[in-house]
Amino acid sequence: MLVHLSELLKDAQEKKYALGAFNIENLETTLGVVNAAVKKVSPIILQVSETSIQYAGLKAITSIVQTIASVQAGDIPIALHLDHGRTFRAVAECVRAGFSSIMMDASDMPLTENIILTKQAVDFAHRKAVLTQGELGVVKGLEEIEEEERHKLMTDPEEAEKFVKATGVDTLAVAVGNVHGILKMQKGNPGLDLDRLEAIHKLIPDTPLVLHGASGLPEAQIQKGIVRGISIINIDTELRLAFTNTLRATLINDPEEFDPREVLAPSIFAIQKVAEEKIEMFGSAGAAKP
Ligand code: G3H
Ligand code: 13P
Ligand code: ZN
């Protein structure tokens, strides 16, 4: 069933696990992740980026999530979130469409602009009881930055405290060595700056922290992150790889098959397996038991 993110966050914080926030873009990826949540009896966040909204259409993707959450997911609680909203307009559209949380990502702007844009989104969302995520520090892809820049772009703990106070965000995406995208899957994930994460959490202990770019991050790092205040963990790249690599193999193995349902079923299952593994890793398996 579709629920408000606030319900999920409260339980995650009390029981000290993290919620998986899985990026989806169509019926098949949504089914794969939801099947995993049902199998593992786990609450989850389904999130869409602006690119996915452009691809599927806001109304269509919202309806897919709402319908699958109420039909296939049954009692398993699912929250719908806008990932990396870059404009006030995108945020406002998702608030109006019934999302229970949005991200305003102005992290690549100077601090003052980031605060102004994020606060504007927060004020609007809060009027409709929608939760908000901001980002401070910048989480880039390895292909976009050199090692030295990755360090420079990390979240400063004192600035994080100031940012949360000034904007009123409910959750904060942090840059603590985490990186987005595919290249880290090939080169190795550089890992988290756990001391920095701990320092941030100490200054804003009541603000759930969000870890972007978590594909490929080893379980030990994830668990150390959860102990240091990470309550939401974003996974996209590993889902995409599972879906597309499986699709490629399916088509090569059976070049005669032309029924899209036959061709896509193994990819849906591949997504499910990745999401199941992450749910176990994040400690949320069983958390949706009545
Ligand atoms: O962190 C970004 C997400 O992986 C979304 O990427 O804009 O290509 O959908 P996208
Ligand atoms: P990955 O693609 O590295 O898993 O990151 C996902 C993410 O941060 C979505 O916002
Ligand atoms: Zn992200």
Tens-digit pLDDT profile for residues 204-228: 999 999 999 999 999 999 999 999 9
Is 52 a pocket residue for ligand 1 (Cβ < 6 Å)? yes
pLDDT at 150: 79
- Ligand nearest to the CA of residue 45, numbered in listed order: 2
Is 107 a pocket residue for ligand 2 (Cβ < 6 Å)? no
Q: Which atom of ligand 2 is found nearest the CA of 49?
A: 10
pTM of the model: 0.97
Of 245, 220, 228, 248, nearest to 172 (Cα)?
A: 228
Residue 178 within any structural domain of the chain: yes
Annotate the chain with DSSP letters as a single string: -B--HHHHHHHHHHHT--EEEEE--SHHHHHHHHHHHHHHT--EEEEEEHHHHHHH-HHHHHHHHHHHHHTTSTTS-EEEEEEEE-SHHHHHHHHHHT-SEEEE--TTS-HHHHHHHHHHHHHHHHHTT-EEEEEES---BTTT--HHHHHHTSPPHHHHHHHHHHH--SEEEE-SS--BSSHHHHH------HHHHHHHHHHSTTS-EEE---TT--HHHHHHHHHTTEEEEEE-HHHHHHHHHHHHHHHHH-TT---HHHHHHHHHHHHHHHHHHHHHHHT-TTTT--
Is 180 a pocket residue for ligand 2 (Cβ < 6 Å)? yes
> For a pocket test of ligand 2, which of 33, 44, 171, 215 has the largest count of ligand atoms closer than 8 A to its C-beta?
215
Range of the domain at 25: 5-282
pLDDT at 49: 98
Of 194, 196, 192, nearest to 214 (Cα)?
A: 192
Tens-digit pLDDT profile for residues 55-112: 999 999 999 999 999 999 999 999 999 999 999 999 999 999 999 999 999 999 999 9
Give yes or no for a contact between 218 and 250, defined as CB atoms under 8 angstroms apart.
Answer: no
Q: How many domains does the chain have?
A: 1
Residues with pLDDT less than 70, the chain? none
Residue 79 within any structural domain of the chain: yes
- Ligand nearest to the CA of residue 49, numbered in listed order: 1
Decide if 83 is catalytic: yes
Q: Which atom of ligand 1 is found nearest the CA of 234?
A: 1
pLDDT at 4: 98
pLDDT at 189: 80
Is 215 a pocket residue for ligand 2 (Cβ < 6 Å)? yes
Is 81 a pocket residue for ligand 2 (Cβ < 6 Å)? no
In whole angstroms, give the CA distance from residue 57 to residue 65.
12
- Supply the residue whose CA is at minimum distance from atom 4 of ligand 1: 236
Q: Which atom of ligand 2 is found nearest the CA of 83?
A: 10
Bridge-partner residues for 134, per DSSP? 104, 172
Residue 288 within any structural domain of the chain: no
- Residue 269's domain is classified under what CATH number? 3.20.20.70
- Ligand nearest to the CA of residue 135, numbered in listed order: 3
Cα(215) to ligand 1 centroid in Å equals: 12
pLDDT at 143: 82
Catalytic member of 83, 105, 170, 236? 83
